[in-house]
Every structure is written in C-alpha cells, then in structure tokens.
C-alpha cells in the first residue's frame, strides 16, 4: 500500500488514498469488483473510528479513497490507517500504515 496526502488538523476535503497491492508480488490489486469498504483510523491517543471509502477511479488502479470532513483529523501527531474492503470474491483487510497529521497554526 501507499498513501498520498498530508492532512492538517481540521482539513476538509483532503483525499486520503491507499493503493492496494498484493503482499506476495507487489502488484496492484484490481478492485473493479469492489462492493464496499472502509478505512479504520487510529488517532495518536489510540482511539479509533471508521470512514466509508470508495474507488478513486474504476478500480483497475487499485486505489481506495476517503475524503476528510472537519471531524476526521481532530489532533496532530502520528496516526495509523487500515483499509478493509469487500470485492465480489471476498473481504480483506490491508496492512496498517502510519502517517502524520500536521498541527494547525493559529493566526492572531
């Protein structure tokens, strides 16, 4: 998996994209038979929540995406995210990935 995007606390509309790869071969997984999915986020305080994900394109690129809301990233620090997705042939969970959420600098 790979992740793109570096969110900031309170960001709205940031796309968090994860590319699903076959762990044995490293090849991108074709998600064109995608049924449903979600990302489980773990905040720096170890609390968790889920956000429904969708396909970034038609699924052949292997990319799942979540778009942040004002409540998604409430605190800065090191976060983890793990995708779980269902295709026509079964349900899988990817390997958790760590990323940083930047603090929001207050303007005076």
Residue 102 pLDDT: 93
Contact (CB, 8 A) for 20 and 98: no
Residue 108 pLDDT: 64
Q: Which domains does the chain have, with CATH numbers?
A: 3-101 (2.60.40.10)
Mean pLDDT by 10 residues, the chain (108 residues): 72 90 92 97 96 96 93 94 96 92 83
Residue 5 pLDDT: 63
Q: Residue 5 is encoded by which pair of tokens? A: 């995007």
């Amino acid at each position: 998996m790979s992740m793109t995007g570096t969110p900031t606390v309170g960001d709205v509309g940031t796309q968090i994209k994860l590319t699903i790869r076959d762990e044995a071969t490293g090849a991108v997984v074709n998600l064109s038979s995608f049924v449903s999915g979600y990302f489980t986020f773990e905040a720096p305080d170890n609390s968790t929540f889920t956000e429904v994900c969708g396909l970034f394109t038609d699924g052949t690129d292997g990319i799942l995406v979540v778009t942040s809301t004002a409540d998604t990233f409430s605190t800065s620090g090191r976060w983890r995210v793990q995708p779980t997705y269902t295709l026509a042939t079964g349900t899988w969970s990817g390997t958790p990935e760590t990323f940083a959420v930047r603090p929001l600098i207050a303007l005076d």
